[in-house]
């Protein structure tokens, strides 16, 4: 799958279905690889940190999670790209794993979220093998603990590891463990609590009009206000600047 640059990261392009197919193909051969689910926050983080940008741009796939990225691909490259959102990707990957006999490991988030996810997965995909679920401590882990986590995942026989450590921590974790984890890792972040039923997703009309961030802001105003105010403003400025530079060069 080809990639196109959006400000600071190279975003994979293609039909939504092709992303699922590619992840399943990586999972089947247990290729140690990783997938970044990119949104505005990731773009701005990568713009500010060249080392983080290199991590994202080294990923096997970088999906356009938010509508702003899908629209940026249209603005900058003339590509009509479908959104490949983590909240859609998570249930669709579980479904694909179920159909293809692939086992899944859940890594990250909290015990409460994981327990709720496991209950829903049990109801919806009774034949799907969840080979492990682990919430690491919310502190820097020791080298010994890091090795134990990798051993736990590999011993489980996982084909797909769904990772929810938050941006940018999850991308750094996946990059650091490519070559050690014998599976495809997918950094799916905020999709865990939504799938678990502990948070709700924005209505479809808000998703289609790039307003899902506003819905999340209303849910968690104290935590997200500063991030969205600053991050979204920076993204719009950078996108506008890149658009006019491209337009001038043409």
Structural domain includes residue 61: yes
Closest CA relative to residue 212, chosen from 92, 107, 20, 69: 69
Say whether 67 sits in a helix, a strand or coil: helix
| pTM across the whole model | 0.91
Structural domain includes residue 201: yes
pLDDT tens for the chain, 250 residues long, are 899 999 999 999 999 999 999 999 999 999 999 999 999 999 999 999 999 999 999 999 999 998 889 999 999 999 999 999 999 999 999 999 999 999 999 999 999 999 999 999 999 998 999 999 999 988 888 999 999 999 999 999 999 999 999 989 999 999 999 999 999 999 997 899 999 988 766 677 776 766 676 767 677 777 767 777 788 889 989 999 888 877 777 6
The tally of domains found in the chain comes to 1
Structural domain includes residue 222: no
Q: pLDDT at position 210, please?
A: 66
| Residue 160 CB contacts under 8 Å (≥ 6 apart), including other chains | 23, 27, 93, 97, 102, 103, 104, 105, 183, 184, 186
Q: pLDDT at position 126, please?
A: 87
Closest CA relative to residue 240, chosen from 104, 248, 222, 214: 248
Q: Range of 200's domain?
A: 3-205
Q: Using CA atoms, how far apart are residues 2 and 179, in angstroms rounded to an integer? A: 23
Q: pLDDT at position 69, please?
A: 93
Say whether 157 sits in a helix, a strand or coil: coil
Say whether 160 sits in a helix, a strand or coil: strand
Q: Using CA atoms, how far apart are residues 153 and 145, in angstroms rounded to an integer? A: 12
Burial degree of 5 (CB within 10 A; 0-12, 13-18, 19+):
middle
Structural domain includes residue 148: yes
Structural domain includes residue 219: no
Structural domain includes residue 244: no
Q: pLDDT at position 232, please?
A: 83
Q: pLDDT at position 202, please?
A: 66
Structural domain includes residue 227: no
Structural domain includes residue 134: yes
Tell me the residue ranges of DSSP E strands in 148-198: 160-164, 184-187
Say whether 78 sits in a helix, a strand or coil: coil
């Amino acid at each position: 799958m080809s990639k196109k640059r959006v400000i600071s990261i190279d975003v994979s392009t293609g039909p939504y279905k092709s992303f699922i197919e590619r992840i399943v193909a990586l999972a089947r051969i247990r290729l140690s690889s990783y997938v970044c689910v990119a949104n505005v926050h990731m773009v701005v983080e990568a713009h500010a940190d060249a080392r983080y940008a290199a991590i994202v741009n080294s990923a096997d796939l970088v999906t356009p999670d938010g509508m702003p990225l899908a629209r940026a691909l249209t603005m900058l490259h003339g590509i009509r790209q479908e959104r490949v959102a983590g909240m859609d990707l998570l249930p669709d990957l579980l479904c694909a794993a179920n159909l293809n006999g692939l086992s899944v490991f859940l890594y990250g988030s909290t015990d409460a979220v994981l327990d709720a996810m496991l209950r829903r997965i049990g109801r919806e995909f009774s034949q799907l093998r969840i080979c492990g679920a682990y919430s690491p401590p919310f502190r820097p882990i020791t080298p010994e603990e890091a090795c134990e986590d990798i051993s736990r995942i590999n011993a489980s026989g996982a084909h797909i590891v769904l990772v929810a450590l938050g941006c940018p921590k999850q991308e750094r974790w996946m990059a650091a463990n490519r070559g050690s984890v014998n599976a495809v890792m997918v950094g799916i972040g905020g999709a865990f609590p939504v799938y678990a039923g502990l948070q709700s997703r924005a209505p479809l009309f808000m998703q289609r009009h790039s307003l899902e961030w506003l819905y999340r802001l209303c849910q968690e105003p104290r935590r997200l206000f500063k991030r969205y105010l600053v991050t979204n403003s920076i993204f719009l400025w950078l996108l506008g600047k890149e658009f006019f530079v491209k337009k001038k060069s043409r």
